[in-house]
Amino acid sequence: MVLLLFVDLDPDLAALRPLGGFFVLRTPGAAPRPLATLARTYGQPSPDAYGDPLTRRVQKVAHALRAPEARIAASVAQQGLAARLWSVTLGCAALYGRVPDLDPRLLQWDPDGSAPDDLWLAEVRPLPADPATVADVVLRAHLEPLTAALRARYHVAAGLLWGNAGSALAGAARQLDGWARANGRTDLAARARSLTAGLLSHPLLAGTGTLTATAFRRRSCCLYYRVPGGGVCGDCCFTRPPRSSPRATSG
């Protein structure tokens, strides 16, 4: 029998720092300059003091990748933000036994930033780390409205975006598992694997791919192969870039 020992969430979430940049969340309080909240980001585009952060992020990614279509940049941008949110919650669940409330109204986002300098949490409020709560924190509060916004603006297929979400979750779990094993924390690795399996059975993620130990094989493609110099990702449904119509791989 393994005894799991946890500590309360500290205001700085300092235990996440050794895990790497994608797991780090800046706390507490506001960002060093005015930024939009993620609640604002997922809303309808309208000019204000923050501009349109979601459009800015997609444009930034499109420029960096030289993406031939905006929907490809939208897919990559969504997967990056999903990876940040999953990493924070999985890391906290494993290390603290609790997760922070990531209410989109509490999270400020810099669409021009990169991990770990893109997200700031105004207040650390602990929640249980069970799969249902974590699903509410990430899937319901963030990835559902983000998916809706990207589908409306860039016509990205829902299956592709939920495949990205499943892939990002599995990737965060794999990174956490590797760190835990390297540091002799097999208890944390087991907890992360159990939580990940529970989350992948959620109706929004079920069917997005197959998890075997820490390896994930998704059933959709993020379209990264279509950027100049790009190829298929390690968990892609394809083993080589397809030659068929790109529209056929978007679901």
- Whether the per-residue pLDDT at 44 is higher than 90: the answer is no
pLDDT tens string 102-142: 999 999 999 999 888 899 999 999 999 999 999 999 999 99
Going by C-alpha positions, the residue among 110, 248, 88 that lies closest to residue 172 is 88
CA distances from 65 to 13, 109, 226, 241 (A): 32, 21, 10, 17
pLDDT tens-digit map of 231-251: 999 999 998 888 754 444 444
pLDDT at site 47:
59
pLDDT of residue 130: 95
**Residue 29: pLDDT band by 50, 70, 90 thresholds?**
confident
Note the pLDDT of residue 28: 83
User: DSSP state, 121?
Assistant: E
pLDDT of 51 reads 76
Burial 136-171 (b: 16+ CB within 10 A, else e): ebbbebbbebbbebbbebbebbeebbbbbbbbbbbb
What is the spatial distance between Cα 50 and Cα 48, in angstroms, rounded to a whole number?
A: 5
Residue 32: predicted pLDDT:
80
Residues with Cβ within 8 Å of 170's Cβ and at least 6 positions away in sequence, in order, are 196, 200, 209, 211, 214, 216, 235
Q: What confidence score (pLDDT) does residue 227 get?
A: 92
Task: Tell me the residue ranges of DSSP E strands in the chain.
Answer: 36-37, 98-100, 107-109, 119-121, 126-128, 209-212, 215-218
88 closest CA partner among 100, 106, 76: 100
pLDDT score recorded for residue 117? 84
Q: What is the pLDDT of residue 246?
A: 45
pLDDT, tens digit, for every residue of 149-204? 999 999 999 999 999 999 999 999 999 999 999 999 999 999 999 999 999 999 99
Q: Are 92 and 130 in contact (CB under 8 A)?
A: no
With tokens 């929640």, the residue in question is 127
Q: Give the three-class secondary structure for 193.
A: helix
As given in the structure block, the two tokens for residue 177 are: 């598992």
